[in-house]
Chains A and B, each alone.
Chain A
Amino acid sequence: MRSFYGTNLPNPLMLGTAQYPSPAILEDAFRRSGAGVATVSLRREGAGGAGQAFWQMIRDLGVLVLPNTAGCHTVKEAVTTAQMAREVFGTPWIKLELIGHTDSLQPDVFQLVEAAKILTDEGFQVFPYTTEDLIVGERLLAAGCEVLMPWGAPIGSGRGLANEYALRAMRAEFPDTPLVVDAGVGLPSHAARAMELGYDAVLLNTAVARAGDPAQMAVAMMRAIEAGQMAHEADPIEPRDMAAPSTPVIGKAFLS
């Protein structure tokens, strides 16, 4: 199993913490699914101190914490957010998001590489939210990233793996790098597919948080992810065009 900057994940489900109907349901989704990593963010603190209660809940869950730079559109903004996140959450991990396009939330990969270099030089362990572009992947690794997180489809779209061919190519191109499908997963089958391709983890949020029963969907995602991972490790057969009888023909009775 590939490690993430020296840390072995307890399991391959990275689960977001946004958009749940209530904090209790969020907590239930984590406890029932056993998701090992929680993504979190930073926002302006109000007078009521809402952020403190949330942070206490995450701490009580005992999960690994992956802060993000969601919503950042410039290198400066993303770097400053990462610096603030490191202090608040006490981890060098940062999910680096640099949004380049409003409708698709597609990463701005040029700024992404630039920010990744700055943050790596400052001692961060960067988890870049990127596209499935191989050259961008190479540049991110050259910038010091040791993990790549290509999108499956646009954030929140639930479309699954829009470009499975490219994701497979990415797995082949970077055999030693931990790869995570981040964003676009809508169904457990999508998540299972990512793992069957040999990905190391799946990061998802909306598919669980917006489901009618988030906790049950979180469990379904976990089972699918584990099934996909087991299948990949079990070395599946190749598909073929013609039938191949599974029951032996030799010894069949002559009855016609």
Chain B
Amino acid sequence: MSYILRRLGTMIITTALSVVMIFFVFRVIPGDPAIIILGTEADEAQIAALRSQLGTDRPVLEQFVTWASSTLRGDLGISLRFNRPVAEMITSRLRVTAPLAIYAITLVVLVSIPLGVALALIRTKTVNLAFSYLSQLGMAVPSFWIALLLMSIFGVGLRWFPLGETVDWERDVAGSLRALTLPAVAIALPAIAIVTRYVRSGLVDQLSQNYMRTALSKGLSFYRAVYGHALRNALMPVTTVLGILFADIVAGTVVVEQVFALPGIGLLLVTAVNYRDFPLVQGIALYIALVVVVLNFVVDLLYRVIDPRVRLHKPA
């Protein structure tokens, strides 16, 4: 219990620091938001008006307190461009981004674990070398290029998947999944390259452990020894990697949503940056940071469930 409380404490500190950082990034970096939004030719009165709307004419500390207290209450401010509450805009875009991210993570887990196991069991020189190059190539491929290629082959060429449309979940679940397939594959691919590496090397380590010899010598079949003993231990570090991957997946959605013109949070963020819509940019960044931190916390707890040996003072 005290472990969970401590982790909760660290999580809150990390979140608080992210909040402070996101706020001060907007103050530290040179440039007056009001002038950036209106352009250098705007007249003084307009600039002053926008400054007071943004609150940037007040002392920094006062701005921070105002902003932080409303943020804590879930009020992320009003978008300058769309004149709507930022929190509400983010929530409405979640309908696209959340399924997309979950779809991508599911693909990563479903593909990398069997693939990693297979590669750990078949370790010939050629396979090892080919995998080492292929996985590095997989990490090097830009997800938006994969997205463009998938789009031109399966969308434009073969017409297997619909392009540029999002289907309502309530009306057609299969159709929604189909529409999200190409983007999810594009986001998942680089992550698959990374996770497969971890599964493979984790399992290779476990296969040479003494308990494997014991399991085999007491007559357990190789298959049961691998799946019942080695794999379970090998997946421990993978859990941690999955936690880090959430950030990658979110980053992937930002660019890939642009390729497929999917109206998710990523597309909203890019729009917000293009319009210099500071409250919106700030709100989305904050939201993403929160999601990543909370998911990492959940992964940490999961880790504890899978492996009761893990204690705060002797992490595996």
- Tell me whether A and B are bound partners: no
Residues of A within 8 A of B (CB): none
